[in-house]
């Protein structure tokens, strides 16, 4: 399994494009993206659990009922959420694209991201679709990644090459996510493509299983978005024997999918709104996996800890505090905590109590832009990882005037 270039176009038969159509005021920023497969795909998706859902999610869920899709169209700059005509607009996006590119409108998935509660004008999207289709390219993955960004400061894409049954296979993904990230059964916007042959049921099983340990363990600010979704399309052009049951081939695909998803999680955490540091909480020694997850997620979600990490303050008491209110079944008197980065590692808490440590060394460790918070519960064999970022002044600045 090796890293390659190409993003969502790394898999055989996939093309993508992205352009500025006029939704966003800044003409230098792309705001409309397209991912297209030359062959119809088996598809799977997970969606936000927020009761308020963007209209595109409703349409996409309808179109994926048969677990088939061939294209994804996504706009940024407007979430198309809480609009009276939202579903109608989302359906028009699929209709206009299907008419232009020559596929069934039910095989078009729709996504939107941006401001909630603002009407979405279909005109600039309709007028841009012909050019969007003309620009489709095997080198268009980066343009598509740029077109789905909102407050993101960097594009997020990855691709891998691996083998299944002596067939060379590929998987690639792009993501957007910087704020309003605290997923539950979904996350941000993530689009993944692969050329493996796998049934729709097994593709859904793989995705639903993996997000429990990847995107569901990611939090930037504790807010679950209205438009979160993860979509995977598999067109079978790698020509491996179709995966229809669990087994060796399914395990290989799961490893590839997990590698992509973990990488995208880290990219999103690193690019949290106003963030200067990526945080990863690694929990070991839990009695159950569920306990490990609760503890890891509680730590990365702590606003007080996130603020301390921004200030490079080794305030380990905030780690213990977050564990204490996680409602996880742990023995506080056993817990060890360490801080780690490329500048070193330091023990700050042992058996639930503070230890003498060098504040100077701790400061040096916490000044790095990637910090690991290592928690050992010393109570079992289960572990979990969660990702987040520090909480900075700029987070408030960004969200203080996000709409205006």
The catalytic site residues sit at 187
CA proximity to 141, closest of 15, 287, 288, 280: 15
Give the span between the Cα atoms of 366 and 345, in whole angstroms. 10
* Number of other CB atoms surrounding residue 84 within 10 Å: 8
* Number of other CB atoms surrounding residue 337 within 10 Å: 23
Question: Tokens in use for 264?
Answer: 């995208």
Longest dimension (CA), the chain: 69
Give the span between the Cα atoms of 94 and 90, in whole angstroms. 7
Question: Tokens in use for 60?
Answer: 């996409």
Give the span between the Cα atoms of 119 and 150, in whole angstroms. 17
Positive or negative: CA dihedral 305, 306, 311, 314:
positive
Residue whose structure tokens are 């969502």: 8
CA proximity to 69, closest of 109, 97, 15: 109
């Amino acid at each position: 399994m090796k890293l390659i270039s190409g993003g969502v176009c790394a898999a055989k038969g996939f093309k993508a494009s992205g352009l500025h159509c006029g939704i966003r005021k800044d003409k230098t920023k792309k705001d409309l993206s397209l991912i297209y497969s030359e062959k119809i795909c088996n598809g799977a998706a997970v969606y936000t659990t927020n009761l308020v859902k963007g209209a595109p999610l409703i349409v996409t869920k309808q179109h994926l009922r048969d677990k088939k899709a061939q294209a994804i169209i996504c706009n940024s700059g407007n979430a198309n959420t809480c609009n009276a005509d939202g579903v109608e607009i989302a359906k028009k996006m699929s209709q206009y694209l299907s008419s232009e590119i020559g596929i069934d409108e039910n095989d078009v998935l729709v996504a939107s991201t941006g401001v909630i509660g603002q009407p979405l004008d279909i005109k600039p999207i309709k007028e841009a679709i012909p050019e969007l289709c003309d620009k489709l390219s095997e080198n268009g993955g980066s343009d598509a990644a740029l077109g789905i960004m909102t407050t993101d400061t960097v594009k997020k894409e990855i691709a891998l090459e691996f083998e299944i049954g002596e067939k060379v296979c590929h998987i690639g993904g792009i993501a957007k996510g910087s704020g309003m990230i605290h997923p539950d059964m979904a996350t941000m916007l993530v689009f993944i493509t692969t050329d493996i042959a796998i049934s729709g049921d097994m593709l859904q099983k793989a995705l639903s299983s993996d997000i429990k340990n990847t995107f569901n363990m990611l939090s930037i600010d504790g807010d679950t978005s209205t438009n979160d979704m993860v979509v995977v399309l598999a067109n079978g052009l790698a020509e491996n024997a179709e995966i229809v049951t669990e087994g060796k081939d399914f395990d290989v695909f799961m490893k590839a999918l997990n590698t992509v998803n973990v990488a995208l999680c880290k990219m999103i955490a690193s690019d949290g709104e106003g963030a200067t540091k990526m945080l990863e909480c690694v929990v070991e020694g839990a009695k159950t996996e569920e306990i490990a997850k609760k503890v890891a997620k509680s730590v990365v979600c702590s606003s007080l800890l996130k603020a301390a990490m921004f200030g490079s303050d080794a305030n380990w008491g905030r780690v213990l505090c977050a564990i204490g209110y996680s409602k996880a079944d742990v023995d506080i008197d056993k817990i060890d905590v360490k801080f780690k980065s490329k500048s070193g590692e330091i023990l700050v808490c042992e058996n639930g109590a503070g230890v003498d440590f060098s504040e100077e060394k701790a400061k040096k460790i916490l000044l790095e832009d990637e910090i690991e918070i290592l928690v050992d519960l010393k109570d079992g064999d289960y572990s979990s990882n969660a990702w987040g970022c520090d909480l900075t002044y700029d987070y408030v600045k960004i969200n203080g005037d996000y709409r205006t």
